[in-house]
């Protein structure tokens, strides 16, 4: 075994170049093992996955679109043991589906209706999975098909509501006339892990799945209509047209959120079903029989992730992005200070009640002077959201109202609109919080549509490659009401240039071919492998599609991140050199990349996104999610054969989202 290098760690691998190959590429000296894939069986009785569109019973199979993941250790005897390196539970989100590959010839519609069996399959491919992983020795990782811990959480799994909005009238549905329970979770994107070893899964783009017929608008209160529109619940069909399936099965009819009539009760239909989603859900990964809990104190919006900052004696802080253009960064602060004795609490969800149901939600304002303010979303302190455009004024009626309508509340208090806030991650060595802002591909954004934390508006392409902001809480406590911040890094495609001026303005972080990237999304710090303060963990950045897929597939980079303010003042010229359109000079404080402090570690297969990431506690196995390889193909035109292509150059199989385990051939710590 190699010795862990102590402060400062260095990047100890050779950068991986751009790649358009249909495999996962890692540095020399590292190996890739494909772990759980779409469709892999989670019980002894479930048949192997045929991968030809004929498979069913996804309530007992790994779901689609491997997204965020987390590893929870198990002792050799099978007891919860967060420090265990050779056996554990892999919990993973299944955000969405690549519909075409799930059916023999792609999705079908017969007489205007989706077939019931196809729809039920697509629904069950969403949610969360728990699968046992074991290292059989010498980094030979496999999953355990018949483990008693294996579980699927799907959009049909019974869940309960907790916190201030539980029981609110807007949460009352046919499934729960009391508004205290519901079914399932959907579009689970990123995640969080608590200090008491539970899993937080985040409901992101829930809005698109619901159908609302045009007749619904006139049957809604002005308040609900404003709320539905502000959260994008405006589809007239719903994703994949699930509600067209001819059935009275509530697993189908719930996706139609159209109000039945002006005289029927809200509990007689599913008009309120959209308000049951957009939450953070806590799951006990070690108890397959437990009922997941929706934590309403953490607010409702397009939840990307939920990084939990756990420091004994401080409140639990949960940092959360809302991934849509111009949305906000939020922080939840528990009333109770974290008690280290709760680390090994036997009842993890009851511990969640203690820390996640009683606290204050804040939204971030980034000031131009490099300071920031957490604005409390507390009833009585939030003014009415003023009327704007076609929105009427919205006056809040209760704390539950604020929590259900965080976007409206964020508007009301003057939060800073951001370029799509994705993951948050905390540096365990400094306590600083990093936030990826994936991009703002907005060709219409005028140059004055910027702000200090989102300063780039390159005329004609907005902020196509994204950036990463980091913040340090004043007093280094999660309880802080103020913080300092800077811009850590701007994405750039160094090959995408037609003038030197353009290059200078796009590539403001001085990236080169060893580390250029676009659209940062996943963000993660290595698990500390040495006592706190001795080891500066590496920062990992994952990318999603973006403006670079013509030259390389999506990727994972590793960085030596530094600290807030270490880069000095820099300037971006937002003027378009091609047209001469006048732009603003934006000044920011931020770092510069170099081959020494930022390197590409991995490139994924064709048309994938690199998503989940976690390590064993010893840092010697890295797990990475490979989401939707071949997503732009279909059953008749397969565009990726991954993961079969990883080991078989002549593979012809349909692509499958999957997790890979990456180990160093000498058994060392990943990245060092
Ligand atoms: Fe599901 Fe914002 O990525
Ligand atoms: Ca994401
Ligand atoms: Ca993304
Ligand atoms: Ca994607």
Q: Is 12 among the domain residues?
A: no
Residue 186 has pLDDT above 70, yes or no: yes
Supply the range of the domain harboring residue 308: 30-206+277-664
Residue 166 has, within 13 A of its CA and on its CB side, a CA count of 19
Q: Is 73 among the domain residues?
A: yes
From ligand 3's centre to the CA of 54, what distance in Å?
Answer: 30
Residues that place a CB less than 5 A from ion ligand 2: 189, 521
**How many other CB atoms sit within 10 Å of the CB of residue 519?**
25
Q: Beta 293-295 vs 158-162: how paired, if at all?
A: parallel
Q: What is the pLDDT of residues 484-541, one digit of tens each?
A: 999 999 998 888 765 555 555 678 899 999 999 999 999 999 986 544 445 678 999 9
Comparing 593 with 585, the larger pLDDT belongs to: 593
> What per-residue confidence (pLDDT) applies to 531?
44
Which ligand 1 atom lies nearest to the CA of residue 302? 2
Q: What is the pLDDT of residues 399-448, one digit of tens each?
A: 999 999 999 999 999 999 999 999 999 998 889 999 999 998 655 555 45
Confidence (pTM): 0.96
SS (H, E, C) 393-446: CECCCCHHHHHHCHHHHHHHHCCCCEECEEEEEECCCCCCEEEEECCECCCCCC
Ligand having the closest approach to the CA of 543? 3
> What per-residue confidence (pLDDT) applies to 529?
54
CA distance 446 to 457: 7
Residue 129 has pLDDT above 90, yes or no: yes
Task: Name the residue at shortest CA distance from atom 1 of ligand 1.
Answer: 189
Q: Is 238 among the domain residues?
A: no
Residue 483 in contact with residue 471, Cβ under 8 Å?
Answer: yes
Which ligand 1 atom lies nearest to the CA of residue 438? 2
From ligand 1's centre to the CA of 422, what distance in Å?
Answer: 6
From ligand 2's centre to the CA of 610, what distance in Å?
Answer: 9
Residues 6+ apart with CB under 8 A from 205: 96, 187, 189, 302, 323
Residue 58 in contact with residue 129, Cβ under 8 Å?
Answer: no
- Give the pLDDT mean for 567-589: 73
Q: Is 378 among the domain residues?
A: yes
Q: Is 267 among the domain residues?
A: no
Q: Is 37 among the domain residues?
A: yes
Residue 213 in contact with residue 234, Cβ under 8 Å?
Answer: no
Q: What percent of the chain has pLDDT over 70?
A: 93
Interior/surface letters 40-62, b for 16+ CB within 10 angstroms, e for the rest = bbbeeebeebebebebebbbbbb
Backbone angles phi, psi at 116, to 5 degrees: -60, -45
Which ligand 1 atom lies nearest to the CA of residue 187? 1
Give the residue among 164, 155, 138, 195 at the shortest CA–CA distance from 63.
155
> What per-residue confidence (pLDDT) applies to 107?
97
Distances from the Cα of 352 to the Cα of 287, 311, 562, angstroms: 14, 15, 33
Q: Partners of 388 in the beta sheet?
A: 391
Backbone angles phi, psi at 327, to 5 degrees: -90, -175
Residues 6+ apart with CB under 8 A from 460: 443, 576, 578, 579, 581
Q: What is the pLDDT of residues 375-401, one digit of tens each?
A: 999 999 999 999 999 999 999 999 999
Q: What is the pLDDT of residues 327-355, one digit of tens each?
A: 999 999 999 999 999 999 999 999 999 99
Say whether the ipTM exceeds 0.85.
yes
Helices (DSSP H) in 149-247: which residue ranges? 215-219, 222-230
Q: What is the pLDDT of residues 239-298, one digit of tens each?
A: 999 999 999 999 999 999 999 999 999 999 999 999 999 999 999 999 999 999 999 999
Ligand having the closest approach to the CA of 632? 4
Ligand having the closest approach to the CA of 607? 4
Q: Is 330 among the domain residues?
A: yes
Residue 618 in contact with residue 35, Cβ under 8 Å?
Answer: no
Distances from the Cα of 597 to the Cα of 13, 17, 29, 515, 614, angstroms: 12, 16, 20, 9, 21
Ligand having the closest approach to the CA of 204? 1
From ligand 3's centre to the CA of 67, what distance in Å?
Answer: 10
From ligand 4's centre to the CA of 94, what distance in Å?
Answer: 12
- Give the pLDDT mean for 159-183: 98
Which ligand 1 atom lies nearest to the CA of residue 420? 2
Ligand 1 interacting residues, C-beta cut-off 6 A: 95, 189, 204, 304, 323, 422, 521
Which pLDDT band, with edges at 50, 70 and 90, does 173 fall under? very high
Which ligand 1 atom lies nearest to the CA of residue 67? 1
Which pLDDT band, with edges at 50, 70 and 90, does 546 fall under? confident
Residue 113 in contact with residue 244, Cβ under 8 Å?
Answer: yes
Q: What is the pLDDT of residues 560-575, one digit of tens each?
A: 888 999 888 888 877 6
Task: Count up the domains in the chain and report the number.
Answer: 1
Instruction: State the DSSP H helix or E strand holding residue 319, giving kind and residue range, or none if neither.
Output: strand 315-321
Give the residue among 478, 490, 589 at the shortest CA–CA distance from 547.
490
What's the first-to-final CA gap in the chain, in angstroms? 13
Q: What is the pLDDT of residues 612-638, one digit of tens each?
A: 999 999 999 999 999 999 999 999 999
**Residue-by-residue DSSP string for 237-300:** S-GGGGGGSS---HHHHTTB-----SSS-GGGSSTTGGGG-S-EEEE-TT-TTPPPEEEGGG--
Which ligand 1 atom lies nearest to the CA of residue 422? 2
From ligand 2's centre to the CA of 519, what distance in Å?
Answer: 10
CA distance 386 to 669: 53
Q: Is 374 among the domain residues?
A: yes
Q: What is the pLDDT of residues 22-64, one digit of tens each?
A: 999 999 999 999 999 999 999 999 999 999 999 999 999 999 9
Which ligand 1 atom lies nearest to the CA of residue 205? 1
Residue 597 in contact with residue 560, Cβ under 8 Å?
Answer: yes
**Residue-by-residue DSSP string for 558-584:** EE----TT-S-EEEEE---TTT-----
Residues in the chain: 672
CA distance 72 to 536: 23
Distances from the Cα of 533 to the Cα of 6, 431, 539, angstroms: 9, 11, 16
CA distance 512 to 516: 6
Residue 602 in contact with residue 632, Cβ under 8 Å?
Answer: no
> What per-residue confidence (pLDDT) applies to 508?
86
Maximum distance among all Cα pairs of the chain, rounded to whole angstroms: 71
Rounded mean pLDDT of the chain? 93
From ligand 4's centre to the CA of 545, what distance in Å?
Answer: 6
Q: What is the pLDDT of residues 63-111, one digit of tens each?
A: 999 999 999 999 999 999 999 999 999 999 999 999 999 999 999 999 9
Residue 13 has pLDDT above 60, yes or no: yes
From ligand 3's centre to the CA of 322, what distance in Å?
Answer: 11
Residue 196 has pLDDT above 80, yes or no: yes
> What per-residue confidence (pLDDT) applies to 532?
44
From ligand 4's centre to the CA of 540, what distance in Å?
Answer: 18
Ligand having the closest approach to the CA of 438? 3
> What per-residue confidence (pLDDT) applies to 459?
59
């Amino acid at each position: 075994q190699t010795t862990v290098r102590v402060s400062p760690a260095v990047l100890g691998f050779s950068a991986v170049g751009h790649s358009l190959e249909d495999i996962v590429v890692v540095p020399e000296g590292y190996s890739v093992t494909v772990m759980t894939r779409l469709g892999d069986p989670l019980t002894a009785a479930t048949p192997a996955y045929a991968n030809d569109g004929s498979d069913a019973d996804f309530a007992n199979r790994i779901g689609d679109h491997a997204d965020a993941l987390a590893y929870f250790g198990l002792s050799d005897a099978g007891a919860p043991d967060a420090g265990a390196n050779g056996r554990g539970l892999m919990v993973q989100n299944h955000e969405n589906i690549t519909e075409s590959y799930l059916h023999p010839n792609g999705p079908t519609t017969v007489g205007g209706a989706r077939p019931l069996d196809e729809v039920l399959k697509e629904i069950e491919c969403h949610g969360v999975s728990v699968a046992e992983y074991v290292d059989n020795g010498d980094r030979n990782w496999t999953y355990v098909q018949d483990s008693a811990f294996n579980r699927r959480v799907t959009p049909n799994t019974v869940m309960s509501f907790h916190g201030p909005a539980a029981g609110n009238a807007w949460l009352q549905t046919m499934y729960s006339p009391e508004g205290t329970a519901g079914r399932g979770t959907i579009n689970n994107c990123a995640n969080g892990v608590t200090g008491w070893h539970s899993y937080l899964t985040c409901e992101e783009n829930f809005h698109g799945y619901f159908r609302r017929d045009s007749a619904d608008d006139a049957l809604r209160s002005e308040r609900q209509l404003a709320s539905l529109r502000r959260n994008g619940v405006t589809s007239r069909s719903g994703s994949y047209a699930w509600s067209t399936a001819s059935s009275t099965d509530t697993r189908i009819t719930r996706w139609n959120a159209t109000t039945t009539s002006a005289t029927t009760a809200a509990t007689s239909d599913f008009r309120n079903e959209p308000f049951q989603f957009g939450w953070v859900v806590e799951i006990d990964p070690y108890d397959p029989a437990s009922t997941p809990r929706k934590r309403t104190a953490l607010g409702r919006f397009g939840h990307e992730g939920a990084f939990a900052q756990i420091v004994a004696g401080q409140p639990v802080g949960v940092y959360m992005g809302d991934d849509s253009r111009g949305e906000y960064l939020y922080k939840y602060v528990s009333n109770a200070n974290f008690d280290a004795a709760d680390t090994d609490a036997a009842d993890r969800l009851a511990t969640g009640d203690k820390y996640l149901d009683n606290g204050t939600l804040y939204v971030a304002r980034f000031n131009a002077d490099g300071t920031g303010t957490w604005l409390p979303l507390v009833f009585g302190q939030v003014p009415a959201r003023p009327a704007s455009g076609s929105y009427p004024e919205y006056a809040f009626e209760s704390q539950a109202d604020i929590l259900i309508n965080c976007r409206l509340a964020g508007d009301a208090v003057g939060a800073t609109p951001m370029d799509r806030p994705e993951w948050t991650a905390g540096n365990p060595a400094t306590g600083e919080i990093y936030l990826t802002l994936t991009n703002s591909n907005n060709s219409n954004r005028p140059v004055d549509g910027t702000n200090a934390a989102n300063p780039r508006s390159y005329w004609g392409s907005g902020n196509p490659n994204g950036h990463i902001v980091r913040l340090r809480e004043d007093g280094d406590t999660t309880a802080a009401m103020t913080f300092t911040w800077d811009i850590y890094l701007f994405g750039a495609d160094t090959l995408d240039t037609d003038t030197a001026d353009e290059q200078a303005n796009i590539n403001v972080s001085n990236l080169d071919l060893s580390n250029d990237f676009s659209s940062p999304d996943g963000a993660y710090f290595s698990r500390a492998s040495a006592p706190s303060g001795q080891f500066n963990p590496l920062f990992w950045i994952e990318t999603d599609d973006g403006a670079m897929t013509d030259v390389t597939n999506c990727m994972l980079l590793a960085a030596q991140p530094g600290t807030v303010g270490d880069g000095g003042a820099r300037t971006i010229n937002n003027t378009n050199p091609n047209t001469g359109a006048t732009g603003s000079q934006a000044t920011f404080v931020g770092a510069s990349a170099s081959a020494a402090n930022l390197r590409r570690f991995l490139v994924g297969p064709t048309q994938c996104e690199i998503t989940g990431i976690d390590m064993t506690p010893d840092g010697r196995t890295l797990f990475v999610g490979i989401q939707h390889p071949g997503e732009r193909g279909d059953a008749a035109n397969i565009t990726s054969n991954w993961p079969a292509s990883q080991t078989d150059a002549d593979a012809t199989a349909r692509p499958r989202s999957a997790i890979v385990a990456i180990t160093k051939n000498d058994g060392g710590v990943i990245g060092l």
